[in-house]
Structures are given as structure tokens and as C-alpha cells.
Structure 1
């Protein structure tokens, strides 16, 4: 591939940033070590980025874009886009679970004694609290 040609890479819907960087690197026929040499980072660091074990700094993303001859900010936009997809997907799943819990509660209310209804309601509340805790821990990542 000529150095002035822009790289064209097919991107899968659920492909991570690391997958994308790996595809770009492989399209050049480079090893992780060669990409590291072009960007000033270690082979190990390239591997961690490709496996999704670390999030590269903005400077590293910029260096990767230059080395892989990608348009400016292509990787940064990809990081932001992936984060938005993950957040919207989580929000949608949480909403679906919430609806299911409410429907379950209404269905149980029609067929349970007051005592059993309280137990079912407590169980649903526990599930809701667990979901809230999961959301809080996923936002920390």
C-alpha cells in the first residue's frame, strides 16, 4: 500500500476500537511491534489496546491515526461513537427490564394474597436495586 493512500477498512457493527486498530494494522501487514515502532509505543501496549484491556490516550490515538494513515480524529470519533452505542443500549435494556417488572407486579397483584403480594413486590424491588447498582458500576468504567 502506498503511503499517501487512505486506508479503507470494513467495520463490523459490534466491532471494538481494538478490533478496528488490529484490522488496520493487519491490512498494512504489520506486526504489533512494527505498529508500536511507528507510534512510539511498545508492542505490549499495542496488544493491550487491540484486546480492549486499556483505553489509549488521545495522543496515542493521534499517533495511531498518523501511522495507519487514517483521517484526523477517526479513532477519537470511533471511541465516542462506541461509548454512545453502549450507553444507549444499556438504557434501552434497563427500560425493558423495568417494564417487565411492572407487568409482573400487576399480574401477580391480580392473583396473590396480600402477604404473597408483599413478598413478590419485595423481590421486584430487589431486582430494581440490583439494576441500579449495575448501572452505577458500569458508569465508573
Structure 2
């Protein structure tokens, strides 16, 4: 039992060394998807931010691909645009699969 307790205490919490959670390509594609749908429904960044409880400056970072939102924020953005979150995610995947020269 003492050996198993020593093993547990040796486990390091948090992200492994060298891991990263930010993926620039995914962030850019998601931001582009948000911008497309926001413009399609005729909202400004500020209006979308207000609906989703996000600062306008943060909306700009999301749309420019400087910030990759977590699940909670994706859900709030989708709700603010009256759509299912899967629509944003599906469009993000489409943009990631599209060669850069044709975007």
C-alpha cells in the first residue's frame, strides 16, 4: 500500500511538459466561421458580444484567430446567433479541410 501511495504522489498534475492547447489553424478557422455567420445574420461584433456576454475586443480576438474559445464560450456564441454549436464546429472543420489557396 505504501508503494501505491508513493506512485500517486509522484504523479504531476496539469498539462504534460511540451503540450499546448492553442492550435493556430483551428483558432483561425473557428474565427472565420464565427465571422461568416455573424455577418450573415447582420450582427456587429459588439452586438454578438453583448448577446454572448463577451467583450467586443475579445470577439475581435476570436474572429482573428488569436483566441480559441472553450466549450462554454462556443455554446454561448452559438446560442447568441440562434444556431446549434455543431454548425460552427462543422464550418470550422470545412475551413480546416479547404486548401489555403482557395479560401
- Into which bin does the TM-score normalised by the smaller protein fall? 0.5 to 0.7
The Cα RMSD (Å) is 2.6
Q: Within 5 Å, which residues of 2 pair with 1:20-99?
A: 20-78=33-91, 81=93, 85=97
CA contact (8 A) 2:30 2:89 kept: no
CA contact (8 A) 1:18 1:51 kept: yes
Aligned residues: 72
The 2-side partners of 1:61 and 1:37 are apart by 14
Of Structure 1 and Structure 2, the greater helix share is in 1
> Where does structure 2 lack aligned partners over 5 or more consecutive residues?
1-27
Which structure: larger Rg? 1
Give the TM-score normalised by structure 1. Answer: 0.43
CA contact (8 A) 2:31 2:63 kept: yes
In structure 2, the CA distance between the partners of 1:23 and 1:72, relative to structure 1 (3 Å rule), is closer
Deviating more after overlay: 41-50 vs 67-76: 67-76
In structure 2, the CA distance between the partners of 1:54 and 1:62, relative to structure 1 (3 Å rule), is same
